[in-house]
Structure 1
């Protein structure tokens, strides 16, 4: 049997060790984890008190049953007797937040600390991986707008007897597509076009033509703008600003052409409506919302051979 004095000394040492652990846990707690840490500390203190109480009661019961009152010589005898106490040298089992775990004692008598930060990171990584997998499943079940749009466009091409010339998606696609259509129809691009101008530079002439018309007819456009007319004209003429319906309208009137724009599920016509002008030539464009990485895009449509 462990001598009473040694047991009391051990109990005091265990209480000091536990108090040090509790203090460290509370210092490292955050606002979010403070409640759980306090609960853990209360569990540890309660378990230590209960175990020490059981040890004292067990020792008193054994001493009474054997009739041994204990003397210095008896204590010396008992020191040489290998008795296993309630606290095993290999480790103790404690319960933290309802989960039973084994903490193996280290060489200095302190139990190894649970790495809560690592556990939280592992849990968070598992949750993120599960969310990614769920998103992939949902995406797989969603219709592909790019594929749907492409199928409808191909159907329109066939109905109208057209083939597609892909235009580089560089911000100038509308103007490059119109330039290609005008060249196919034999319509001069304008006075800014040089005879030896390369195909990939013709958009510059068409940009200037659109900007010139908008600048010369402010009443037709200013109500649709969110900025001063002169700033808008400068962007259309000199930058890679995307063109849209206003630029198509300006080009339709500049070149006296009817522009048919095939798009997802139908076609849009932009007519010049110029009184006293000859019958307008018809040109074709393809407009995509989903088919190209940069977003909205125009291609040129030529008559099928």
Structure 2
């Protein structure tokens, strides 16, 4: 039978759970958007309440198991202090006519012994609350990565003469941003390089057409892409065409070659990743489109927006 958890081990686990929850809640709140903030706050309150209730139940259960057992002296208590406390606890109290509790206790001639275990639990709970408050304060003092990223991107827009077209953060953002760029540049969404999209595919929404273009090019040139995949090719292609799976560098590389365009991806640190199409050796060899890459600015995580050139 597994030995019951000691009070010290229980308190240590509770402190760690509280620190972990504070970090988790802080990250959720920082990533929330205006639309999702209320739901995130409600979820965070439920998590905090659930943790407090569970920890209180565990403390109460452990306190009940220790009820009636011999008190273990605290580390800072000396033998002399124990003797003095024992004598004090066993001393005869004077009856008090105005206090019923004292009258009842005086019938046996002894003062009621204080529950030192409960006092220790209360002190530990106060220490845990102080630690949680300290962790929350430290998290609040961290820089707002979302606002910082936004500020830096706006500065870069001015440098490159760009204006942002915000794309919905729904898993299709990379493909929708490419579709917007192709439309603004008056470029055909039908790939210039095999495979060609059939009439049924071209009747799809623009972002879906772009998804099919990426999947089709990868299917036609698997040797260029399979070494970088962590799953079978067929599964990978199905996710591109038929789901809301996020796109990344592999899909951008496929789209650059399928459409014959240079794709510029602007990051908040000033980096511009240039993805050149087949046959292009330097800048200017092909038409360009621009995407903005965000790591902190949107609730779902990584995100792409369309960056249009200012006329």
Unpaired runs of at least 5, structure 1? 1-23, 52-85, 92-102
Give 1:114 shift: 3.5
Instruction: State the partner residue of 2:275.
Output: 270
Q: Deviations over 1:268-303 (max 9, x none)?
A: 100113379x94210000001111111110000112
Structure 1 residues 232 and 113 mapped into 2: Cα distance closer, same or farther (>3 Å)? farther
Q: Is the 8 A contact 1:105 1:112 kept in 2?
A: no
CA distance in 2, matches of 1:240, 1:246: 16
- Name the residue aligned to 1:304: 310
Report if aligned partners of 1:172, 1:241 keep a CA contact under 8 Å in 2. Answer: yes
Structure 2 gap ranges (5+):
1-63, 191-196
- Return the offset for 1:89: 2.2
**Hey, what does 1:193 align to over in structure 2?**
202
Distance 1:274 1:122, change over 3 A: same
Matched, 1:227 2:236: no
Give yes or no for contact 2:252–2:275 (8 Å, CA) kept in 1: yes
1:204-239 superposed Cα distances (whole Å, 9 cap, x missing partner): 111111111111111111111111112111111111
Aligned to 1:257: 261
Do residues 288 (structure 1) and 294 (structure 2) align?
Answer: yes
2: CA distance, partners of 1:112 / 1:151: 65
Task: Give the match for residue 152 of structure 2.
Answer: 152
Bigger strand share = 1
Question: Counterpart of 1:216?
Answer: 220
Counterpart contact for 1:264–1:288, Cα < 8 Å: yes
Instruction: Provide the secondary structure at the position in 2 that maps to 1:170.
Output: coil
Measured in 2, the distance between the counterparts of 1:141 and 1:111 equals 50
Query: Which digits, 9 at most, give the CA deviation of each residue in 1:44-101, with x for residues without a partner?
Result: 89527986xxxxxxxxxxxxxxxxxxxxxxxxxxxxxxxxxx542249xxxxxxxxxx
Aligned length: 229
The residue correspondences of 1:51-200 to structure 2 (distance < 5 A) are: 87-90=93-96, 104=102, 106=104, 109=108, 111-112=111-112, 114-115=114-115, 119-120=119-120, 122-190=122-190, 191=197, 192-194=201-203
What corresponds to 1:62 in structure 2?
A: none
2:181–2:306: 8 Å Cα contact kept in structure 1? yes
Post-superposition offset of 1:106:
2.8
Aligned residue for 1:72?
A: none
Q: What TM-score, normalized by structure 2, do the two folds share?
A: 0.63
Q: CA RMSD in A?
A: 3.6
C-alpha spacing 1:120/1:180, structure 2 compared with 1 (3 Å):
farther
Query: Larger deviation: 295-304 or 118-127?
Result: 118-127
Residues 260 and 283, structure 1, Cα contact 8 Å, conserved in 2? yes
Distance 1:50 1:281, change over 3 A: closer
Distance in 1, Cα, partners of 2:302 & 2:273: 15
Per-residue displacement from partner, 1:231-285 (whole Å, max 9, x unpaired)?
1111111111111000000000011110000102221100113379x94210000
SS for the counterpart of 2:202 is: coil
Query: Looking at CA atoms only, which structure, 1 or 2, has the larger radius of gyration?
Result: 1
